[in-house]
Amino acid sequence: MKVYSLLGFTDYEGSDLLGVFGSVEDVMKCVESNEKGWFYEDMGYVVSEVGEQIDDMLAVIEYVEFKRYY
């Protein structure tokens, strides 16, 4: 079963796991649901099989556009 893990990145602080979803559409609904915007420099999702180890997240992440909160 494929899952889509949404991450938010903050410079010099690292990343936060924002949720694990069943489809790209669900990821995008989450990204768009925050009307005030997000406090991250970048956001993206990683596609993997349930239980699969990811060795190099930055090599497989798909970045998304989002509204930033300033």
pLDDT exceeds cutoff 80 at 70 = no
Tokens of 28: 């995008």
> Per the domain annotation, does 69 fall within a domain?
no
- Amino acid 20: pLDDT: 97
Please answer whether residues 6 and 30 qualify as being in contact, where contact means their C-beta atoms are separated by less than 8 angstroms. yes
70, part of any domain: no
- The count of domains in the chain is 1
Is 48 contained in some domain?
yes
Q: Does residue 25 fall inside a structural domain?
A: yes
**Is 68 a member of any domain?**
no
pTM over 0.75: yes
For 3-42, what is each residue's pLDDT tens digit?
999 999 999 999 999 999 999 999 999 999 998 899 999 9
What's the one-letter identity of residue 18?
L
Domain span holding position 23:
2-63
